[in-house]
């Protein structure tokens, strides 16, 4: 494993992701070096993502009620998938594609629990504050809490399964092989020259990937007109944010990139808030349709009204998106001579 690798912790396969009760908090974004190759940078990033996953899983064991734990779990899993795509490893070896699919499956389970947490602590709580004595809302909230508890249990069970442990160990092994040069049988659809690319400097490669991610975000923002298309724009913003955070130490114009990152975070937050309200609307309808309580329709109407009012306020704020977008133009620049050499 590279110098980037974090301290090793024992993983017990029979107990799921359980490295021990004293696992420290882990940041999923490593500090890359300007001299890193593509393989070293990819290995460092993936190892950090996986250690964040293990640490957050242990935190879930110790305190299943903390909403931040679910958020960190979801971040770790989605960043793992994003990192695989950023370094295009799914084109190099079919095992990376399989690992990414497993991570997405786990992220779906975690995402369901996170969405219910956000709904209960956000939209539903807001409606209940507006109608504190409404009996239908109280019954509806009890139903939502039951679903929330079940989703957390499902999340804990999925992450404690042998399959989750096997995924983590295999992904860690693949990450280590990137720099160790172990035997990795490229699939028949692997890109020619991908192994040679891994030994090239990371900086110019990552700059090119940033440009591609920036172009994708621009396209999706231009064509965003519905909940689905805004959701796709949010995903593009999230992928670009992850890549920009990762590449900060190895590319030039750090201050300008830091300012662009600040604007990008603001953009992602705005899009994330809109997405949360869309999800809240869907969850409320799903809970109401599964309920036998005749008052659920009344509670649903109150939740939907609350979501509509807040969505209108956000739509007015979307006029600022073009201004935020304009600050990200730094990503359209080509690599500098310093970037091309892999140094600051």
Instruction: List, as one string, the DSSP characters of 32-99.
Output: --TT-BHHHHHHHHHHHHHHHHHHHHHHHHH-TT-HHHHHHHHHHHHHHHHHHHHTTGGGT-HHHHHH
Nearest to 330 by CA among 216, 254, 237, 271: 254
Residues 333, 299: contact at Cβ < 8 Å? Answer: no
Residues comprising the chain, all counted: 344
Quote the pLDDT of residue 49.
94
End-of-domain residue from the set 180, 213, 231: 180
**Does residue 338 carry a pLDDT above 70?**
no
DSSP 129-195: HHSTT-HHHHHHHHHHHHHHHHHHHHHHHHHTSHHHHHHHHHHHHHHHHHHHT------TTPPTTHH
In which domain, by residue range, is 141 found?
37-180
* pLDDT 10s digits, 14-64: 334 443 333 334 455 787 888 899 999 999 999 999 999 999 998 888 876
- Residue 181 Rama label (left phi>0; alpha psi -120 to 50; beta): left
Place of tokens 């992904």: 171
Quote the pLDDT of residue 306.
85
* pLDDT 10s digits, 66-75: 778 899 999 9
Judge whether 12 lies within some domain. no
Average the pLDDT over each of 7-11, 232-236, 262-266, 296-300 and give the range with the smallest value. 7-11
Quote the pLDDT of residue 326.
61
* pLDDT 10s digits, 96-150: 999 999 999 999 999 999 999 999 999 999 999 999 999 999 999 999 999 999 9
End-of-domain residue from the set 120, 147, 180: 180
Judge whether 31 lies within some domain. no
Half-sphere exposure for 53 (CA within 13 Å, toward CB): 32
Residues with Cβ within 8 Å of residue 309, at least 6 apart in sequence: none
pTM of the predicted model as reported, rounded to 2 decimal places? 0.81
Quote the pLDDT of residue 221.
85
* Torsion sign over Cα 117, 118, 124, 125: positive
On whether both 299 and 170 belong to a single domain, the answer is no
**Does residue 255 carry a pLDDT above 70?**
yes
On whether both 230 and 168 belong to a single domain, the answer is no
Burial 152-183 (b: 16+ CB within 10 A, else e): beebbebbbeeebbebbeebbebbbbbbeeee
End-of-domain residue from the set 119, 147, 180: 180
The DSSP letter of residue 332 is G
Nearest to 213 by CA among 191, 243, 258: 243
Cα(93)–Cα(95) distance, rounded to whole angstroms?
5
Residues 155, 113: contact at Cβ < 8 Å? Answer: yes
On whether both 163 and 206 belong to a single domain, the answer is no
Judge whether 267 lies within some domain. yes
On whether both 66 and 135 belong to a single domain, the answer is yes
* pLDDT 10s digits, 151-183: 999 999 999 899 999 999 999 999 999 988 644
On whether both 123 and 206 belong to a single domain, the answer is no
Judge whether 281 lies within some domain. yes
- Name the band, by pLDDT with cuts 50, 70 and 90, for residue 3: very low
On whether both 273 and 318 belong to a single domain, the answer is yes
Residues with Cβ within 8 Å of residue 32, at least 6 apart in sequence: 4, 41, 44, 45, 202, 246, 247, 249, 250
* pLDDT 10s digits, 258-275: 888 888 888 888 888 888
Quote the pLDDT of residue 302.
92
Quote the pLDDT of residue 289.
93
Quote the pLDDT of residue 344.
38
Judge whether 6 lies within some domain. no
Quote the pLDDT of residue 319.
52
On whether both 176 and 219 belong to a single domain, the answer is no
Number of domains in the chain: 2
Phi/psi for 64 (5° steps) reads -70, -10
On whether both 42 and 161 belong to a single domain, the answer is yes
Quote the pLDDT of residue 224.
83
Residues 238, 213: contact at Cβ < 8 Å? Answer: no
Judge whether 9 lies within some domain. no
On whether both 215 and 309 belong to a single domain, the answer is yes
317 vs 241: which has the higher pLDDT: 241
* pLDDT 10s digits, 286-334: 999 998 899 999 999 999 888 877 665 454 445 555 555 566 666 655 5
Q: How many helices (H) and strands (E) does the chain have?
A: 13, 0
Judge whether 282 lies within some domain. yes
On whether both 176 and 256 belong to a single domain, the answer is no
Quote the pLDDT of residue 1.
39
Judge whether 14 lies within some domain. no
Quote the pLDDT of residue 27.
57
CATH number for the domain that contains residue 124:
1.20.120
Dihedral, 157, 159, 164, 169 alpha carbons, nearest 10:
-140
On whether both 142 and 243 belong to a single domain, the answer is no
Mean pLDDT of 223-250: 88
On whether both 217 and 122 belong to a single domain, the answer is no
CB-based burial label for 327 (10 Å; 0-12, 13-18, 19+) = middle
């Amino acid at each position: 494993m590279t110098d980037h690798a974090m301290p090793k912790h024992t993983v017990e396969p029979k107990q799921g992701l359980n490295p021990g009760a004293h696992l420290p908090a882990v940041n999923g974004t490593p500090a890359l070096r300007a001299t890193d190759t593509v393989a070293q940078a990819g290995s460092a990033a993936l190892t950090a993502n996986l250690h964040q996953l293990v640490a957050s899983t242990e935190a879930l064991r110790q305190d299943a009620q903390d909403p931040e734990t679910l958020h960190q779990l979801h971040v770790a899993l989605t960043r793992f998938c994003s990192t695989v795509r950023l370094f295009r490893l799914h084109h190099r070896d079919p095992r990376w594609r399989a690992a990414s699919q497993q991570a997405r499956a786990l992220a779906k389970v975690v995402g369901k629990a996170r969405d219910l947490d956000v709904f209960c602590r956000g939209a539903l709580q807001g409606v209940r504050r507006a109608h504190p004595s409404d009996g239908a809302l109280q019954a509806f909230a009890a139903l939502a809490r039951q679903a929330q508890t079940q989703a957390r249990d499902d999340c804990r069970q999925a992450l404690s399964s042998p399959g989750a442990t096997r995924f983590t160990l295999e992904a860690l092994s693949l990450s280590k092989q990137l720099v160790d040069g172990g035997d990795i049988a490229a699939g028949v659809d692997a890109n020619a020259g991908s192994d040679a690319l891994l030994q090239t400097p990371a900086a110019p490669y990552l700059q090119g990937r940033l440009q591609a991610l920036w172009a994708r975000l621009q396209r999706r923002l231009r064509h965003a007109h519905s909940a689905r298309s805004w959701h796709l724009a949010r995903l593009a913003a999230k992928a670009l944010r992850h890549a920009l955070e990762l590449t900060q130490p190895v590319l030039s114009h750090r201050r300008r990139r830091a300012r662009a990152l600040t604007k990008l975070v603001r953009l992602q937050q705005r899009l994330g808030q809109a997405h949360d309200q869309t999800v809240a609307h869907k969850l409320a309808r799903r809970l109401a349709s599964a309920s036998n309580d005749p008052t659920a329709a009344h509670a649903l109407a109150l939740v939907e009204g609350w979501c509509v009012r807040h969505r209108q306020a956000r739509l007015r704020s979307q006029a600022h998106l073009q201004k935020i977008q304009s600050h990200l133009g730094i990503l359209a620049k080509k690599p500098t001579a310093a970037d091309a050499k892999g140094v600051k």
